[in-house]
Chains A and B, each alone.
Chain A
Amino acid sequence: MERVPILKIGDILLVSIQVDMSDQTAVQLQEDLAERIVATGCHGVIIDITALDIVDSFVGRMLSTIASISKVLDAETVVVGMRPAVAITLVELGLSLNGIRTALNVERGMELIAASRTDDWDEAPGDEDAETTATP
């Protein structure tokens, strides 16, 4: 079975999914990632799905679960690089990916995480708006 590599860049874990994952590989990634968050103490996770030509309900659920797990472990998850055709298909499929933050690319994703960490630090009021206001 193939394994998806997890890279650590500064305070962020970067997962770039490059293969057509079997369901088992997806579940394995979920487990690996939880362990790495705890082991590294990282506060941000970026999942890059630029190379994925489809996201079905199973992968969608995996992304939601990863986001929830990392939240419990005090890490922010951002899914980046979703292709237009994939997004259109997800809307048609009826999958809303609730609770997942998204960004156009890795760079924007890193900015999003950096911004939300600063907000945490500042304990800024009106924190809920941070998602939209923080991106330059």
Chain B
Amino acid sequence: MALSAEQGGRLAHLLSQHADRSIDRWTEIVTGSLRGRLSRAELARQVQELHRALVEAGQQGVSDLAAEHGGELRAVLSELSTNRARQGFSATETAISVFALKDVLLELMEQERGDDTLRDFVAFSALVDQMGLFTFETFVRARESLIADQAEQLLELSTPVVKLWEGVVAVPLVGTLDSARAQVVMERLLQTLVDTSSPYAIIDITGVPAVDTQVAQHILKTVVAARLMGADCIISGIRPQIAQTIVALGIEFGDIATKASLADALRHVLRLTGVETTARRARREA
């Protein structure tokens, strides 16, 4: 049920006429529902914002929340519910902050009962319902983006690219590699090669429990891409079962260097770059 222009005007009039009283009462109800997890001053500020936006929307004759005049009101509502979502409040607690307006309106309207009062109250209620549902939807969206951000952060945390030696970087892969993670690893490794100007990269898969065709393809593509950029990759830590899988799947590792352990891989790179280890010098001098 949409608000008529007159009803919008009457809503604005009612709320602005009893501005202080309605804001106080509204804040009081909301404070009670949140059990002191937000300060009263903070809540009063939020309620004031909502009150102001609602009065403005009413004055402009807003018919429902989706209407053009509802823009400012929608913005205030979505800011409110986005903040609540980030602060860890539940969707119900957020929606109650809006629904509390119904109690406020009821108390105000009981005093000035006229012919249209009931009709008005039902129409105002419908608008408040819309506002409540809108906060709910924004809340869910905010939560979803929060979860997506966290998932991404987790992904980045779980794939460190470390500098092992001058010109040598390594990615110790731990845990299950799915396609999405393999892709993140690939991009980060290649970017690190550029950033550190390292011509060698070691991909250590000691901590990877299983390798399927797709993951092997991702590793192979990384190696080829690194070559295109002018860097060489060595794969280390291939466990016996994984070696068997690789052969069984018929995956060709071609001329890609593979080493049993990270230490072997590093020794291999150092030999290529001409760094001399004490063990080697001893052998040579013997």
B197 and A105 form a contact (CB under 8 A): yes
Say whether, besides A83-B194, A84-B194, A88-B187, A102 and B232 are in contact (CB < 8 Å): no
Measured CA separation A91–B229 after assembly (Å) = 11
A residues within 8 A CB of B172? none
Does A54 count as interface, using CB distance less than 8 angstroms? no
Question: Which one, B19-27, B54-62, B219-227, B240-248, is touching chain A?
Answer: B219-227
Chain A: which residue is nearest B220 at the CB level?
A91
Chain B: which residue is nearest A107 at the CB level?
B197
Q: How many A-B residue pairs have CB under 8 A?
A: 66
Minimum CB–CB distance from A110 to chain B (whole Å) comes to: 12
Chain A: which residue is nearest B224 at the CB level?
A91
Does B88 count as interface, using CB distance less than 8 angstroms? no
Measured CA separation A133–B190 after assembly (Å) = 21
Interface residues in A, total, Cβ within 8 A: 26
Chain A: which residue is nearest B193 at the CB level?
A104
Say whether, besides A108-B197, A132-B232, A133-B274, A102 and B187 are in contact (CB < 8 Å): no
B residues within 8 A CB of A87? 190, 225-226, 228-229
**Cross-chain contact of B199 among A84, A90, A135 (Cβ < 8 A):** A135
**Cross-chain contact of A104 among B187, B199, B224, B274 (Cβ < 8 A):** B199
B230 and A103 form a contact (CB under 8 A): yes
Most central of A79, A84, A90, A96 by chain B CB within 10 Å: A84
A96 and B224 form a contact (CB under 8 A): yes
B229 and A84 form a contact (CB under 8 A): yes
Interface string of A93-121 (1 = CB under 8 A from B): 00011000111110111000000000000
Chain B: which residue is nearest A111 at the CB level?
B199
B227 and A102 form a contact (CB under 8 A): yes
Minimum CB–CB distance from A62 to chain B (whole Å) comes to: 15
Most central of B221, B229, B231 by chain A CB within 10 Å: B229
**Cross-chain contact of A82 among B199, B229, B273 (Cβ < 8 A):** B229
Does B1 count as interface, using CB distance less than 8 angstroms? no
B197 and A91 form a contact (CB under 8 A): no
Say whether, besides A88-B187, A136-B273, A102 and B228 are in contact (CB < 8 Å): yes
B167 and A90 form a contact (CB under 8 A): no
Does A80 count as interface, using CB distance less than 8 angstroms? yes
Say whether, besides A104-B199, A108-B199, A91 and B194 are in contact (CB < 8 Å): no
B residues within 8 A CB of A78? 230
Measured CA separation A87–B224 after assembly (Å) = 8
Chain A: which residue is nearest B223 at the CB level?
A91
Within 8 A of A (CB), among B207-241: 221, 224-232
Can you name 8 extra interface pairs (CB under 8 A) apart from A88-B190, A102-B229, A109-B230?
A79-B230, A82-B228, A83-B194, A84-B229, A104-B193, A108-B197, A108-B199, A135-B273
A residues with a Cβ closer than 8 A to B are 78-80, 82-85, 87-88, 90-92, 96-97, 101-105, 107-109, 132-133, 135-136
Query: Can you sample 15 A-B contacts with CB below 8 Å?
Result: A82-B230, A84-B193, A84-B194, A91-B221, A91-B225, A91-B228, A92-B221, A96-B228, A102-B229, A102-B230, A103-B199, A104-B193, A104-B194, A108-B199, A108-B230
